[in-house]
């Protein structure tokens, strides 16, 4: 594997981007950063510019969220000069072990690489819940797939994926305020997506889908073992499920 382009989409992420200075220079294969910024009103762009080095070229594009996150990612890919793409969110960073792995990849048998993610919520490591055993495809050859999904975009490829048991560290929320603001924002996007797909909801779904989500996260996925943060996030994700269906019902009946 030769050079890698890192793609990033942002909106008011200056505080998270400040942390990138501690780890980004360690990934020797990344020689290009493509930023697509959704009209940030803070210092996001200035913080990204500070990441520039002789080894790392930064290209910045200001582009409002016209359609969805997949569209933003695909636009970023169109601006890259390398075949290999690494994508991360502003509140994520690869572990030191994963950085070492990326720096030493020399295997052309795979076009996609998926990694585990370690969630840190309100300053506490979550070891359980729905994302605890998931892999996230974050490194790929851009010639063999495409992004899909309105809210939680995914790289879709028919080629073989290598699953690597190394972590992307996800510092998801440092306050309950930001947690519930994001729940409100993403539930609106998801409801709009379902409405455009002509899906509808009913009283049964509004009541029992959130309940099922809580049972799944807190009991089946052992969220109760994460203590207080575990129940907070389980209730939060249940509330997200409720808001999606409540907003979908409102869109369908307004």
Going by C-alpha positions, the residue among 55, 161, 166, 57 that lies closest to residue 104 is 166
Q: What whole-number distance in Å separates Cα of residue 9 and Cα of residue 73?
A: 7
Q: How confident is the model at residue 2 (pLDDT cuts 50, 70, 90)?
A: confident
Do residues 156 and 112 touch, judged by C-beta distance below 8 A? Answer: no
Question: What is the secondary structure of 109-144 as a DSSP string?
Answer: T-SEEEEEEEEEETTEEE-SSTTTT-EEEEEEEGGG
Quote the pLDDT of residue 131.
81
Q: What whole-number distance in Å separates Cα of residue 214 and Cα of residue 224?
A: 11
Instruction: Map tokens 């799944």 to a residue.
Output: 216
Work out the widest C-alpha separation in the chain, in whole angstroms: 58
Of the two residues 134 and 145, the one the predictor is more confident about is 145
Quote the pLDDT of residue 149.
82
β-strand partners of 154: 148
Quote the pLDDT of residue 254.
86
Q: How confident is the model at residue 67 (pLDDT cuts 50, 70, 90)?
A: low
Q: What are the distances in angstroms from CA 8 to CA 5, 138, 211?
A: 10, 12, 34
3-state secondary structure (DSSP) of residue 162: strand
Copy the structure tokens of residue 234: 């389980």
Of the two residues 175 and 131, the one the predictor is more confident about is 175
Assess whether pLDDT exceeds 70 at residue 104: yes
Given CATH 3.90.550.10, say whether it is the number of domain 4-173: yes
Tens of pLDDT, residue by residue over 211-233, are: 999 999 999 999 999 999 999 99
User: Structural domain boundaries of the chain?
Assistant: 4-173, 176-252
CA angle 89, 34, 83 (to 5 degrees): 100
Quote the pLDDT of residue 108.
67
Assess whether pLDDT exceeds 90 at residue 100: yes
Copy the structure tokens of residue 52: 């520039």
Quote the pLDDT of residue 61.
96
Which long-range CB contacts under 8 A does 125-128 form with residues at least 24 apart?
126/226, 126/229, 126/230, 126/233, 127/225, 127/226, 128/221, 128/222, 128/223, 128/224, 128/225, 128/226, 128/230
Going by C-alpha positions, the residue among 23, 28, 26, 35 that lies closest to residue 1 is 28
Tens of pLDDT, residue by residue over 159-193, are: 999 999 999 999 988 899 999 999 999 999 999 98
Q: What whole-number distance in Å separates Cα of residue 121 and Cα of residue 60?
A: 30
Out of 68-72, 131-135, 139-143, which region has the weakest mean confidence (pLDDT)? 131-135
- pLDDT over 70 percentage in the chain: 98
Assess whether pLDDT exceeds 90 at residue 130: no
Quote the pLDDT of residue 65.
78
Assess whether pLDDT exceeds 70 at residue 107: no
Q: Residue 207: what are its φ and ψ, rounded to 5°? A: -85, -50
């Amino acid at each position: 594997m030769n050079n890698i382009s890192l793609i990033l989409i942002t909106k008011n992420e200056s505080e998270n981007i400040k942390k990138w200075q501690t780890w980004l220079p360690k990934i020797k294969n990344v020689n290009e950063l493509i930023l697509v910024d959704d009209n940030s009103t803070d210092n996001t762009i200035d913080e990204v510019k500070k990441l520039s080095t002789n080894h790392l070229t930064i290209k910045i594009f200001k582009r409002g969220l016209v359609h969805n996150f997949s569209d933003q990612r695909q636009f970023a890919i169109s601006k890259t000069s390398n075949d290999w793409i690494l994508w991360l969110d502003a509140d994520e960073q690869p572990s030191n072990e994963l950085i070492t792995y990326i720096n030493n990849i020399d295997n052309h048998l795979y076009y996609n690489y998926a990694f585990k993610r370690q969630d840190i919520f309100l300053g506490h490591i979550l070891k359980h819940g729905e994302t605890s055993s998931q892999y996230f495809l974050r490194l790929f050859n851009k010639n063999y797939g495409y992004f899909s999904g309105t809210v939680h975009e995914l790289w879709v490829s028919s080629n073989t994926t290598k699953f690597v048991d190394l972590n992307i560290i996800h510092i998801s929320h440092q306050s309950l305020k930001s947690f519930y603001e994001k729940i409100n924002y993403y539930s609106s996007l998801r409801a709009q997506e379902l409405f455009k797909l002509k899906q509808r909801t009913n009283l049964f779904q509004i009541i029992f889908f959130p309940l099922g989500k809580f049972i799944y996260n807190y009991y089946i996925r052992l969220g109760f073992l994460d203590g207080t943060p575990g129940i907070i996030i389980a209730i939060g994700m249940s509330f997200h499920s409720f808001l999606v269906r409540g907003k979908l019902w409102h869109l369908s009946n307004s």
